[in-house]
Amino acid sequence: MPKWEYAIMPRKLFAHLRRFFTNSFVKFVAKKVVFYAIVMFVAMTFVFFIPRIVPVNPIDLMIPRPSGGISPEQYAEIRNYYMRFFGLDKPLFDQYIIFWRQILTLDLGRSFPTSSVVSWPRPVLGAILGFLPFTLALVIPVLLLSFILGNWIGARAAYVGGKRSELAYFFSVFSNRLPCFWLGMVLLFLLATRAGLFPTVGWISLRVKPPSLDLDTFLDVLWHYCLPFLSLFIVYLGGWATGMRSMVIYEMDSGYVRYSDQLGFRKSKSMAYAKRNAILPQFTGINLYLNALIGETTIIENIFGWPGIGRLLVDSVMTSNFPMITGCFLVIMVVVIFGNFLIDILYGFVDPRIRIGRR
Amino acid sequence: MEMLELLRRSRKFIIGSAVVGAIIMLGIIGTMVTPEPKMNLSQIGKAQPPSWEHPLGTTSLGEDVFAQLCRGISNSFMVGLLGGGLGTLIAVLLGALGPYKGGLADESSNFVTNVILVFPILPMLLFLSYVLGERSLFTVGMLVALTSWPWAARSIRSQVLSLKEREFINLARMSGMKDRTTVITEVLPNMLAYILMVFVLLAGGAIIAEAGISVIGVGPDRGLCVTLGNMMYSAIQFHPSVWHWSSIWWWFIPPGLVLTACLSAIFVIHAGMDEVFNPRMRRV
């Protein structure tokens, strides 16, 4: 039916809309949107109240204690001025309303002057957006590459069987249990300071400053990127491999694989079916891995001096930089929720039971 | 008792518990044998490599690393016990009672679990821990427990849901057994193995979470107690650059090795228990 007919036939439009909204896939997406909106609300409410329940005022960190030179009255005046300037003098509930208005209008105000990594007075979101690419550059490749390679290794180990499979299992469990920050420290010790192959901290060498968009800069950043990437990648690789190996072994034991074996299928053919079924539960794992990865990136960034959100967040938390904390958590939540949402949709496409739905 | 008999036959479980047991023994006996590690002002900046006198050398503050390590092991395991125990308790309360009662209780507990499951736990944890100010083993253990339970609650819930449909529960109901008696005599004994497995994983998770926030510097205060995590933190913290701290490898390598060994062992224990209690997995 051509689109213009909707105008003269509202009944048909209504019928189409109804069919659209009773489509199981659309319903699935709508449900997820509502759920993630609630998650966002709860998380940001926590972020607002956690620093405000303790009786420490960030203003006292910004201005020095009254000493010689100014009277207590003058000090109180300065303090009140600061309180008014950053809106901390209002009742808690008003602050909470302002907090949500700022989030919804994407104008988080200015960072407190306590930050040591962001110069004052920069708008919060602008500053954070400068840090975000570094975090994404760690999180996305680690997640995708470890998923692909780890599942390949796991499936391969299950396929080969025997001693080599045991060995692969042993190594993947071990690598998955390595604390990523300690692995980072050991890599720094062995590869950076002992062997001198990699730089120790930061994201760019002084010699290529100011950074420009050429190959030299790119290679230099890549060189700095190797160790933080490796220390997360190795840990996550083992996780996927362990899971995939046991899933494939489990599938290889099920009826359809045995039946196809007895029918005389080639082993690679029946394995292809087994792998296809084994990878489905792995997709549901991506959500949990993403959430864990966001956390571990925070630590890794601090160890390697990699200028991502995690580094900014830790600095803001340590300096009670309320607007910056809000901004960091807002961006982290958006990344987490967007990632989770994408993975949910992806899973909907991958799993035929959800893709086709109940007609 | 039957459970113990089965466990004793699992090679993975035996190996894993032997390693964890050995580490705990090292922690306890080492703490008793070695003197309290003290800062030695005359030794500041003169870290000594391992020698007969100091088996793991000394820190750049003049403390004996081995003595620190032993106390760190005990304290980290305390956090594991506390965080794991309390986390399991929360997970059981939210994950088992909800679906057993059914209706609104189930819906709300499941919803809360799913919401918290999406939170970026580690940033939240370090934020909470920093805000708290005074950080002892107890408070950090509590915080870890408060943030670690959601996946456990979810898996316990699915277990209870499948258990509820089983024949023997129906039989107990039909024979007129009271709800409470059913839970105590039928549901709980069948869940016990699973709850134990959840506890093992949560305890391991608590140990690594504590180490993670300690490395950033918001773990238990160094002055109150030494943990494996804040040993690594101090190794970084008391030096101006990577070149300095990485030359004193005997300060940060041992705690990480112990941590890795203990987490691997906990994973192996869990895998062994899984094989024993989950007959479908027994041959895997």
Reported as a single tens digit per residue, the pLDDT across A145-157 is: 999 999 999 988 9
Average pLDDT, stretch B233-254? 84
A246 contacts on B by Cβ (under 8 Å): 281, 284
Q: Does the CB of A174 have a partner CB in chain B at under 8 Å? A: yes
Is this complex scored with an ipTM above 0.90? no
What's the domain count of chain A?
1
Select the residue of A188, A249, A298 nearest B122 (Cβ to Cβ).
Answer: A298
Flag whether pLDDT at A168 surpasses 70. Answer: yes
* Alpha-carbon separation of residue A223 from A130, A227, B265 (angstroms): 20, 8, 35
pLDDT digits (tens, 9 = 90+) for B106-159: 888 888 888 888 888 888 888 888 888 778 888 889 999 998 888 888 888 888
CB A58 within 8 A of CB A114: yes
Distance (Å) from the C-alpha of residue B274 to the closest C-alpha of chain A? Answer: 12
From A173, A192, A328, residue closest to B264, measured CB to CB: A173
- How far CA B280 is from CA of A246, A254, B229, B283, B284, in Å, comes to 12, 11, 37, 7, 8
Asked whether the beta carbons of residue B267 and residue A298 sit closer than 8 angstroms, the reply is no
> Given this model, what pLDDT does residue B257 score?
92
- Least confident residue range of A206-215, A238-247, B92-101, B197-206: A206-215
Residue B32 has pLDDT above 70, yes or no: yes
User: How confident is residue A354, by pLDDT bands cut at 50, 70 and 90?
Assistant: low
pLDDT digits 0-9 by tens, A312-346: 999 888 888 888 888 999 999 999 999 988 888 88
The separation between CA B190 and the C-alpha centre of its own chain, rounded to angstroms, equals 24
**pLDDT value of residue A150:** 93
Q: Give the type of residue at A26.
A: V
Task: Enumerate residues 6+ apart whose C-beta is below 8 A from B57.
Answer: B47, B48, B49, B50, B51, B65, B248, B250, B251
Q: Is residue A160 in some structural domain? A: yes
Cβ contact, residue pair B215, A181, below 8 Å: yes
Taking the CA atoms of residue B99, residue B104, residue B107 and residue B108 in that order, the dihedral angle to the nearest 10 degrees is -110
Q: Could you read off the pLDDT of A8-54 as tens digits, one per residue?
A: 667 777 777 777 777 777 788 888 889 999 999 999 999 898 888 77
**Does residue B283 have a pLDDT over 60?**
no
Which residues 286-325 of chain A have a CB within 8 Å of chain B?
A: 287-288, 291-292, 294-296, 298-299, 302-303, 310, 313-314, 317-318, 325
Distance (Å) from the alpha carbon of A200 to chain B's nearest alpha carbon: 7
Those of residues 67-86 in B touching chain A at CB distance below 8 A are none
User: How many residues are recorded in chain A?
Assistant: 359
Q: Which two tokens stand for residue B1?
A: 């008792």
Mean pLDDT of B88-95: 88
- Put simply, whether B128 touches A (Cβ < 8 Å) is yes
Given a contact cutoff of 8 angstroms between Cβ atoms, the answer to whether B235 and B245 are in contact is yes
A123 forms bridges with which residues in the sheet? A110
Q: Give the pLDDT score at A298.
A: 92
Residue A151 maps to which CATH number? 1.10.3720.10
- The residues, ordered by sequence, that sit 6+ positions from A4 with a Cβ below 8 Å of its Cβ are none
How far is it, in rounded angstroms, from Cα B9 to Cα B184?
28
B246 at interface of A, judged by CB pairs closer than 8 A: yes
Q: Answer yes or no: is pLDDT of A359 > 60.
A: no
User: Over pLDDT 90: what percentage of chain B?
Assistant: 22
Q: How close A16 gets to chain B, by Cα (Å)? A: 32
pLDDT given for residue B284 in this prediction: 39
Residue B237 Cα, gap to closest chain A Cα (Å): 11
Write down how long chain B is: 284
Check residue A357 and give its pLDDT: 55
The encoded tokens of residue B168 equal: 């023997």
**What is d(CA B254, CA B50) in angstroms, rounded to the nearest whole number?**
12
Which domain does A275 fall in, by range?
124-356
- State chain A's maximal CA–CA distance in angstroms: 94
Neighbouring C-beta atoms of residue A35, cutoff 10 Å: 18
Q: What is the pLDDT of residue A235?
A: 93
From CA A55, how far away is CA A187, in angstroms rounded? 41
Which two structure tokens, joined as six digits, stand for A338?
A: 């967007």
Cross-chain Cβ contact B120/A294 below 8 Å: yes
Q: Report domain extents, chain B.
A: 81-226
The answer to whether A351 touches A149, Cβ cutoff 8 Å, is no
Lowest pLDDT segment from A206-210, A211-215, A341-345: A206-210
| Nearest CA-CA partner of B164 in B192, B183, B149 | B183
- Report whether B230 contacts B210 (CB < 8 A): no
Residue A35 falls inside a structural domain: no
- Asked if the Cβ–Cβ distance from B242 to A200 is below 8 Å, we say yes
Measured CA to CA, the distance from residue A55 to residue A51 in angstroms comes to: 9
Are A173 and B131 an interchain contact pair (Cβ–Cβ within 8 Å)?
A: no
C-alpha–C-alpha distance, residues A153 and A44, integer Å: 39
**Beta carbons of A302 and B216 less than 8 Å apart:** yes
Q: What is the pLDDT of residues B34-66, one digit of tens each?
A: 888 777 777 777 777 888 877 787 887 878 888
Q: For residue B200, what are its two tokens?
A: 């093992």
Check residue A5 and give its pLDDT. Answer: 61
Q: How many CB pairs under 8 A join A and B?
A: 141
Pairwise CB contact (< 8 Å): B212 & A295:
yes
pLDDT tens-digit readout, B211-238:
999 998 888 887 788 888 888 888 888 8
User: pLDDT band at B180, cuts 50/70/90?
Assistant: confident
Query: How much is the mean pLDDT over chain B?
Result: 84
CB B246 to CB A188 under 8 A? yes
| Residue B242 to residue A192, Cβ atoms within 8 A | yes
> Which pLDDT score, from 0 to 100, does residue A313 have?
92
Tell whether B242 is within 8 A of chain A (Cβ). yes
Most confident of A290-299, A316-325, B102-111, B170-179: A290-299
Task: Express each pLDDT in A228-267 by its tens digit.
Answer: 999 999 999 999 999 899 888 888 888 888 888 888 888 8
Residue for token pair 């300037």: A85
| Residue B144 to chain A, least CA–CA distance (Å) | 14
Which chain B residue lies closest to A301 (C-alpha atoms)? B216
Kindly tell me if the per-residue pLDDT of A68 is higher than 80: no
A172, A154 in Cβ contact below 8 A? yes
User: Looking at residue A7, what is its pLDDT?
Assistant: 62
B122·A181 Cβ contact <8 A: no
Kindly report the three-state secondary structure assignment for every residue of chain B: CHHHHHHHCCHHHHHHHHHHHHHHHHHHHHHHHCCCCCCCHHHCCCCCCCCCCCCCCECCCCCEHHHHHHHHHHHHHHHHHHHHHHHHHHHHHHHHHHHHHCHHHHHHHHHHHHHHHHCCHHHHHHHHHHHHCCCCHHHHHHHHHHHHCHHHHHHHHHHHHHHHCCHHHHHHHHCCCCHHHHHHHHHHHHHHHHHHHHHHHHHHHHHHHHHHHHHHCCCCCCCCCCCHHHHHHHHHHCCCCHHHHHHCHHHHHHHHHHHHHHHHHHHHHHHHHHHHHCHHHCCC
CB-CB contact of A209 with A143 (8 Å): no
Q: CB–CB of A110/A124 below 8 Å?
A: yes
Structure token digits, residue A137: 């550059």
pLDDT score of B130: 86
A39 assigned to some structural domain: no
Q: Nearest by CB to B130, from A43, A318, A337: name it.
A: A318
Q: Is residue A106 part of a domain?
A: no
Distance between CA A343 and CA A143 in Å, rounded?
12
Q: How far is CA A120 from CA A83, A124, A323, B207, B269, in A?
A: 17, 10, 12, 38, 52
- Where is pLDDT greater, at A199 or B279? A199
Per 3-state DSSP, what percentage of chain A is helix, strand, and coil (rounded to 5)?
A: 75, 0, 20
Residue of B nearest to A329 (CA): B123
Q: Average pLDDT, whole number, for chain A? A: 84
b or e along A177-190 (b: 16 or more beta carbons within 10 Å of the residue's beta carbon)? bbbbbbbbbbbbbe
Q: What pLDDT shows up at residue B222?
A: 78
Chain A interface includes B107 (CB < 8 A): no
A277 pLDDT above the threshold of 80? yes
A181 to B211: CB separation less than 8 angstroms, yes or no? yes
Q: What is the mean pLDDT of residues A55-74?
A: 74
Average pLDDT over residues A52-76: 75
Q: Which of A56, A172, A317, A322 to mutate to test the interface with B (most CBs of B within 10 A)?
A: A317
pLDDT band (50, 70, 90) for residue B280: low
Is A274 part of any domain?
yes
A136 touches chain B (CB under 8 A): no
Q: How far apart are CA B97 and CA A328, in angstroms?
A: 36
